[in-house]
Amino acid sequence: MHDVFLPSAAEKGNPVATNGAFSVQLGIGGMPTVLGKLLARSGLHDLGMHTELCSDAYLDLYEAGVLTNRRCTLHRGQGMLGIVLGSKRLYDWVDDNPGVIA
């Protein structure tokens, strides 16, 4: 299992991103998971999902209202993925979800 990375107090003031009109591609492992959680609490909105591997980090973003795919120019309102790897909750979210193209 990977150690959990938590940013220092000084790093917390540095934005990861400044605009919600972009798509995210996260991988698997400790760092992408933490990055997903930080983005979920960032105040950003309307992020899109275009990824090869969909992990629980995307579900965190969706549940926080951050991942909407509203501003995607290709398949607006739908996230795109190739592989799903994660919890049963993640598989349940992806299964028959019209907002996800696999």
Which pLDDT score, from 0 to 100, does residue 43 have?
Answer: 83
- Annotated catalytic residues are 52
Which pLDDT score, from 0 to 100, does residue 57 have?
Answer: 92
Query: Which domains are present in the chain?
Result: 18-95 (3.30.750.70)
Model pLDDT for residues 32-68, shown as the tens digit of each residue: 888 888 888 888 889 999 899 999 999 999 999 999 9
Q: What is the pTM of this model?
A: 0.77
Sorted by sequence, the CB contacts under 8 Å of residue 80 that are 6+ apart come out as 49, 50, 51, 74, 100, 101, 102
